[in-house]
C-alpha cells in the first residue's frame, strides 16, 4: 500500500498491524510471496466513509497474470507437493486456515471497514464467523470425495470413476462482501485440490491479499493460492482469456457475467456465475406487522443494501400496506449512519462515488416519475461525513413496474414498495423480472407459504426470515441471476472432474 503511514487518511482506531499492512509497498501475492507487479501500475484504495486514500494497491497486468497462472499450473503438476498431498492433509490445512482467520479476526474486520465501508460490528458478528464456518465445512469435505464402481453389461470388465480437481481456477469476486465472497470461492476449490488465482475487486483489494498470506502460513504449498489485485478490464479479462485457466468462478453484475461467459465459451472453459438480483419480498396480512416490518427492513438496509439478494422489491398485502410502511419508516429513520469504526454505526456508506451517483440517480428518477419517498431520498444524510458516499435508507411508494427503480438492480439502501391483493397475482408479479436470485415470504399460513415458494422462480426462498446463509446450503439463481451454485455440495461438484476408467479383467 502506500508509504509513509502518516500520508494515509487512516482512522485513529485502526490497529497497528493494519497500519503497517496499509503502509507497505503495492504488491501482488504470487507463488507464496509478495512480489512487485511487472506492470508497475497501482490503484488508490479509498475509505468510502471519508472518500480519502488509505492505501495504494498493485494493478496487475497481463504479464502478472501469466506469472500467477504459471505458478498455479506448477502447483498442479504431477509430483508437486499439492498433487502428492493426501485429501485428509488438504483438509487439515483448510482447518488451520480457518483458525488463522479466527485469530486475525480483529485485523480482518479493520480491513473490511476501511476499504469496503463495512460496519465493524457486523463484520465481526456476521462476515467473519460465516467465513470461518465455510472453511470448516469444506475442510471436512476434502476426505469425502469419492468415485463409484459401475456394473456394466460387458463381461469380465470393471468400470470405476474417479473425481479429480478441475485444475487452475480464476476466481473473480465483488466488493460488497470481500472476505466472505473470497472464502466462498477459495474453500471448495482447495477441498477439491485445485490451484487458484483470486482477483478481488479493485475497490476492495486488501482482504484478499491478507487471505493469501494467511493461507500460505496455514501450510498451502507455493502457487496454490495466488492473489492478483487489479482492474477487471485488464487483469480480470486476461484471466478469463488465459489458456492456462481451466475454470472461471465469478460473482458480480449480470452485465459483466454475460461478457465472461461469452469470452470463456471460445475455449469451452468451465464457468460458474452468481450475478444480480431484484428480489421480491412478500408480506401477507396475517404476518405480525412488527415482525414483517423488521424483516423487510433488514432485507434491504443491511450492508447499505449492497447485496445481490437484497429484498429490494417489497410487496405488501393491501390491508396492511400502510401499517408495514409506517413501521419500516420508523426503523429506517432510527438507523445510525456513519463510519464503520464507530460503535454506534448501523449503516455505512456505499462503496464509491460512482455507486453513490448511480443510487441517487435511481431515487431521483423515481421521484421525477411520481414516486413518494416515505423516508430518505437522494440528499446526503446530514449526520454523515459530507465527503463519504452515504445514502439514507429510502422507502419509495407510488411506484409501478414501468419505473427503472422497480425493474433494475439498484444496489443501495432503497426499497420500492407496492400493494397486492392475492396469491396468484403476487406470484406472477414477483416472477416478472429477468432475475431469479432470492425471494421472501411472510405469513403464518405455512401451506400458503410453501405453495407460493413452489411458484416462485428463485434460487433461494426464505419463509418468515430473510438473508440467512450457511456453508452447507447451496446459493445461486435462476434466469439472469446466473448458473452454478456457491456453498454446499453443489459448489464442490463444480470444482471436480469425473474420470471413467475401464479395465479388461479377462
**pLDDT for 7:** 55
Q: Evaluate whether 495 touches 189 at the Cβ level (below 8 Å).
A: yes
For residues 284 and 262, state if they share a domain.
no
**pLDDT for 8:** 67
Give me the sign of the Cα torsion angle 51, 54, 59, 60: negative
Q: Which domain holds residue 210?
A: 61-275+485-499
For residues 246 and 329, state if they share a domain.
no
**pLDDT for 12:** 79
Query: How many Cα atoms sit within 13 Å of 321 on the Cβ side?
Result: 17
- In a domain, residue 421? The reply is yes
For residues 247 and 287, state if they share a domain.
no
For residues 183 and 262, state if they share a domain.
yes
For residues 439 and 494, state if they share a domain.
no
- In a domain, residue 32? The reply is no
User: What is the helix (H) or strand (E) element at residue 238, kind and residue range?
Assistant: helix 237-241
- In a domain, residue 166? The reply is yes
Give alpha helix (H) positions in 306-464: 321-334, 353-368, 404-407, 423-431, 446-455
Catalytic (active-site) positions: 274, 308
**pLDDT for 3:** 40
- In a domain, residue 262? The reply is yes
For residues 152 and 296, state if they share a domain.
no
For residues 210 and 239, state if they share a domain.
yes
**pLDDT for 6:** 42
Closest CA relative to residue 48, chosen from 206, 237, 230: 206
**pLDDT for 408:** 98
Please name the residue that has the C-alpha cell 494467511. 214
- In a domain, residue 271? The reply is yes
- In a domain, residue 65? The reply is yes
- In a domain, residue 46? The reply is no
Residue numbers in the chain where pLDDT is lower than 70 = 1-8
Cα gap 310→280, rounded to integer Å: 9
Residue 259, helix vs strand vs coil: helix
**pLDDT for 5:** 39
For residues 177 and 145, state if they share a domain.
yes
Q: Evaluate whether 359 touches 326 at the Cβ level (below 8 Å).
A: no
**pLDDT for 2:** 41
Task: Please work out, in degrees rounded to the nearest 5, the angle formed at the alpha carbon of residue 308 by the alpha carbons of 367 and 400.
Answer: 30
For residues 103 and 131, state if they share a domain.
yes
Q: How many domains does one find in the chain?
A: 2
Q: Residue 186: which CATH number?
A: 3.40.605.10
**pLDDT for 351:** 98
List, in order, residues 6 or more apart from 151 with CB less than 8 Å away. 159
For residues 197 and 104, state if they share a domain.
yes
pTM of the model: 0.95
**pLDDT for 319:** 97
**pLDDT for 365:** 98
- Write phi, then psi, for 59 (nearest 5 degrees): -110, 100
For residues 199 and 82, state if they share a domain.
yes
CA–CA distance from 408 to each of 399, 414, 491 (Å)?
13, 12, 27
Q: Which residues pair with 279 in a beta bridge?
A: none
Q: Residue 406: which CATH number?
A: 3.40.309.10
**pLDDT for 276:** 96
For residues 193 and 291, state if they share a domain.
no
Amino acid at each position: 500500500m502506500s508509504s509513509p503511514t502518516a500520508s494515509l487518511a487512516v482512522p485513529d482506531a485502526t490497529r497497528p498491524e493494519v497500519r503497517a499492512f496499509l503502509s507497505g509497498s503495492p504488491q501482488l501475492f504470487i507463488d507464496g510471496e509478495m512480489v512487485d507487479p511487472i506492470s508497475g501500475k497501482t490503484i488508490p484504495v479509498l475509505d468510502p466513509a471519508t472518500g480519502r486514500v488509505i492505501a495504494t494497491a498493485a494493478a496487475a497486468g497481463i504479464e502478472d497474470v501469466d506469472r500467477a497462472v504459471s505458478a498455479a499450473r506448477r502447483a498442479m503438476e504431477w509430483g508437486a507437493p499439492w498433487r502428492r498431498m493426501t485429501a485428509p492433509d488438504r483438509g487439515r490445512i483448510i482447518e488451520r486456515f480457518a483458525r488463522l482467520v479466527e485469530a486475525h479476526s480483529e485485523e480482518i474486520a479493520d480491513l473490511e471497514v476501511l476499504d469496503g465501508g463495512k460496519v465493524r460490528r457486523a463484520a465481526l458478528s456476521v462476515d467473519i464467523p460465516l467465513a470461518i464456518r465455510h472453511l470448516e465445512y469444506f475442510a471436512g469435505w476434502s476426505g469425502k470425495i469419492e468415485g463409484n464402481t459401475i456394473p456394466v453389461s460387458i463381461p469380465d470388465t470393471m468400470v470405476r470413476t474417479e473425481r479429480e480437481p478441475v485444475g487452475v481456477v480464476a476466481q473473480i469476486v465483488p466488493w460488497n462482501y470481500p472476505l466472505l465472497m473470497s472464502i466462498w470461492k477459495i474453500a471448495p476449490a482447495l477441498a477439491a485440490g485445485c490451484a487458484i488465482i483470486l482477483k478481488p475487486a479493485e475497490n476492495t483489494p486488501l482482504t484478499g491479499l491478507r487471505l493469501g498470506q494467511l493461507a500460505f502460513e496455514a501450510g498451502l504449498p507455493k502457487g496454490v493460492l495466488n492473489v492478483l489485485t487489479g482492474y477487471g478490464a485488464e487483469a480480470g479479462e486476461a484471466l478469463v482469456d488465459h489458456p492456462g485457466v481451466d475454470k472461471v468462478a465469478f460473482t458480480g453484475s449480470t452485465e459483466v457475467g454475460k461478457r465472461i461467459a461469452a469470452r470463456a465459451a471460445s475455449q469451452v472453459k468451465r464457468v460458474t456465475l452468481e450475478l444480480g438480483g431484484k428480489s421480491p419480498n412478500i408480506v401477507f396480512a396475517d404476518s405480525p406487522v412488527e415482525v414483517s416490518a423488521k424483516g423487510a427492513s433488514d432485507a434491504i438496509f443491511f450492508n447499505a443494501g449492497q447485496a445481490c439478494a437484497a429484498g429490494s422489491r417489497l410487496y405488501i398485502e393491501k390491508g396492511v400496506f400502510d401499517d408495514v410502511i409506517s413501521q419500516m419508516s420508523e426503523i429506517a429513520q432510527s438507523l445510525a449512519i456513519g463510519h464503520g469504526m464507530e460503535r454506534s454505526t448501523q449503516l455505512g456508506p456505499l462503496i464509491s462515488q460512482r455507486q453513490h451517483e448511480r443510487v441517487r440517480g435511481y431515487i431521483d428518477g423515481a421521484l421525477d416519475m411520481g414516486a413518494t419517498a416515505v423516508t430518505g431520498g437522494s440528499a446526503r444524510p446530514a449526520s454523515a461525513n459530507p465527503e463519504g458516499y452515504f445514502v439514507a435508507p429510502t422507502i419509495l411508494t407510488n411506484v409501478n413496474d414501468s419505473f427503472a427503480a422497480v425493474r433494475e438492480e439498484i444496489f443501495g439502501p432503497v426499497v420500492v414498495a407496492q400493494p397486492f391483493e392475492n396469491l396468484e397475482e403476487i406470484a406472477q408479479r414477483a416472477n416478472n423480472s429477468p432475475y431469479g436470485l432470492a425471494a421472501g415470504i411472510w405469513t403464518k399460513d405455512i401451506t400458503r407459504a410453501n405453495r407460493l415458494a413452489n411458484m416462485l422462480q428463485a434460487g433461494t426462498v426464505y419463509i418468515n426470515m430473510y438473508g440467512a446463509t450457511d456453508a452447507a446450503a447451496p446459493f445461486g439463481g435462476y434466469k439472469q441471476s446466473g448458473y452454478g451454485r456457491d456453498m454446499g455440495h453443489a459448489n464442490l461438484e463444480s470444482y471436480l472432474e469425473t474420470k471413467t476408467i475401464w479395465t479388461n479383467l479377462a
